[in-house]
Structure 1
């Protein structure tokens, strides 16, 4: 019962994270169209979140000493990298398309495992990759000579690589005395991301007057500062916090599957609030991309394997549960239930 409740709570957190992340693009694009550079919007987003989480960072001030590599990777890739590439992408291509391309992350990870690490890939994972790539071809309408901006597509693919790292790194908190609290990881990830973005975004050139004005959202003039507050508090702090906690409670794989709702939410919001519409071929391609990525992530080996099979996100090694008599295990749940969950991670 306790495991079931924990799983339900994790799924709920993953759903909240997907909804919160899905609203970032529709709030950021009006600010970009109002005159802010994509990197400046990204910098404001990450710096704002870092300031909000500064008390948390102070509380976990021993974390940089214990887990420096984890914090650096999370800050540079899962925070700065994915946000900078995504916002730069939506400045050139529609929000929905940018998200669909970003969710090729699982397929890219499978390609790395198969062709670079030369490790086996399950049949379902391979089918998922083929579907995702074929769907992407429909989204960008390759028969029209890449109708969408090529640089925007490249930026979306870069966001996909960083998005894959987000799910992997979010699960690397460890257990026991060396465990890294999700709040601490998030707080220092934002601080590191803010420092990295400051070096490339050059905020001293930011047009601050844009933030005191209004931005156009589908024909409605909205205060720019209100859009920024939504991006910082909801689409960043709430989204990342619930997302990291969901990965820890479920697994990167299961949390990643629920996160596909982010693309659906973003497409619907972009259509309703920004008036962005996709053609039949692009909608069909988007559905195929999501289906392919879903299949790739849900593929699991039929039998236990000493090496992780592609399509299952890597997690820290865990010792096998000790054998106990049936009477001793009664009332505590079947150990294979938890093992099954982690096998998918």
Structure 2
């Protein structure tokens, strides 16, 4: 019995750490728009604002990429997929959608990703999904509709909606691959280091976004001046440092680690808080109006995230463990959980 209690305690502690990391990631990702918008208003193209933090973060993480260069041989598909979907795909599809449909509609469709993650886990991976996780997804999606005020300026554009849905699918890839990277081993019993996966994902994403954004046409002089943040002059370079180090490096590291400690479906619902955090920060720092439906919607998203993170995965049936391998089996199950 003391062993069971110890395992439960460690499991609860790991879940608490995972939830904390997911919240940090949501705050970091949610704060990117507050820093990016003044740069766009100062004269930078939106695609350039996407390319800058990804490339800057890739440079910051370059030493880790060199340290984990063995991943190029062991997990090339994982690295390429993470860079294509989790880094370049989400950003490119989302900003392309913004050029055709309202921001609120694009944001809502992108954050339908938790529901798509739930479908992936249930019907593709054929793993059990708890009722709490499903209820949390429904509440979070409804709350997001209020946060982004989807009814404001709603217009139908087939290509724009498809691009936003593409961003949601890429975000599903982010959660699934983050979980896959921490699951089973690479054949030698070692799971790929998350920092190495993120470093190479950023490098791949930077190369792909370079082709799309064409940074050689960017007005680099904007970064040498100040940007206006709700009447306050802020150095554009300081905003760039924020979106590189916090909104990209910290956001991806804490996000991937949270998925490994929670699960794709639970971490996906907690990630819905990014829209709430982005709205609140825009209200406080940029002076943007926060309406009553947005406040109510934010509360609903919080409720959905709370219900989803309280879910417990179904237990796998017990299997006999060979003599001398009990510690290895217990460690493997803990990693998988």
| TM-score normalised per structure 2 | 0.77
Deviations 1:199-249 (A, max 9, x none): 111111111111111111111111111101110011111111122222223
Residues 221-260 of structure 1 correspond to what in structure 2 (within 5 A)? 221-260=233-272
Deviations 1:106-152 (A, max 9, x none): 11334567789999976556555554554455456566661799987
CA-CA distance at 1:80 after TM superposition: 1.2
Aligned to 1:215, the other structure's residue is in SS state strand
Q: Distance in 2 between matches of 1:120 and 1:153?
A: 30
Contact 1:93 1:148 in 2 (8 A): no
Instruction: Find the counterpart in structure 2 of residue 311 from structure 1.
Output: none
Are positions 1:196 and 2:208 aligned together? Answer: yes
The CA RMSD measured in Å over matched residues stands at 4.1
| TM-score normalised per structure 1 | 0.75
Contact 1:218 1:274 in 2 (8 A): yes
Deviations 1:317-341 (A, max 9, x none): xx957389xxx99xx9xx6x99699
Residues 280-295 of structure 1 correspond to what in structure 2 (within 5 A)? 280-288=292-300, 291-292=303-304
Instruction: Find the counterpart in structure 1 of residue 282 from structure 2.
Output: 270
Deviates more, 1:293-302 or 1:157-166: 293-302
Task: Tell me which of 79, 87, 92 is aligned to 2:87.
Answer: 79
Are positions 1:207 and 2:219 aligned together? Answer: yes
Q: Distance in 2 between matches of 1:182 and 1:51?
A: 17
| Shift in alpha-carbon separation, 1:145–1:113, aligned structure 2, 3 A | farther
Q: Which blocks of at least 5 consecutive residues in structure 1 are unaligned? A: 306-318
Are positions 1:161 and 2:163 aligned together? Answer: no
| Shift in alpha-carbon separation, 1:129–1:275, aligned structure 2, 3 A | same
Deviations 1:22-50 (A, max 9, x none): 21111111111212111111111111011
CA-CA distance at 1:72 after TM superposition: 1.0
| Shift in alpha-carbon separation, 1:128–1:19, aligned structure 2, 3 A | closer
| Shift in alpha-carbon separation, 1:251–1:118, aligned structure 2, 3 A | closer
Q: Which blocks of at least 5 consecutive residues in structure 2 are unaligned? A: 1-5
The alignment covers a number of residue pairs equal to 323
| Shift in alpha-carbon separation, 1:254–1:203, aligned structure 2, 3 A | same
Residues 20-35 of structure 1 correspond to what in structure 2 (within 5 A)? 20-35=28-43
Contact 2:113 2:268 in 1 (8 A): no
Instruction: Find the counterpart in structure 2 of residue 36 from structure 1.
Output: 44
Aligned to 2:180, the other structure's residue is in SS state coil
| Shift in alpha-carbon separation, 1:121–1:199, aligned structure 2, 3 A | same
Are positions 1:172 and 2:180 aligned together? Answer: yes
Q: Distance in 2 between matches of 1:148 and 1:277?
A: 25
Q: Distance in 1 between matches of 2:210 and 2:293?
A: 40
CA-CA distance at 1:273 after TM superposition: 0.7
Instruction: Find the counterpart in structure 1 of residue 23 from structure 2.
Output: 15
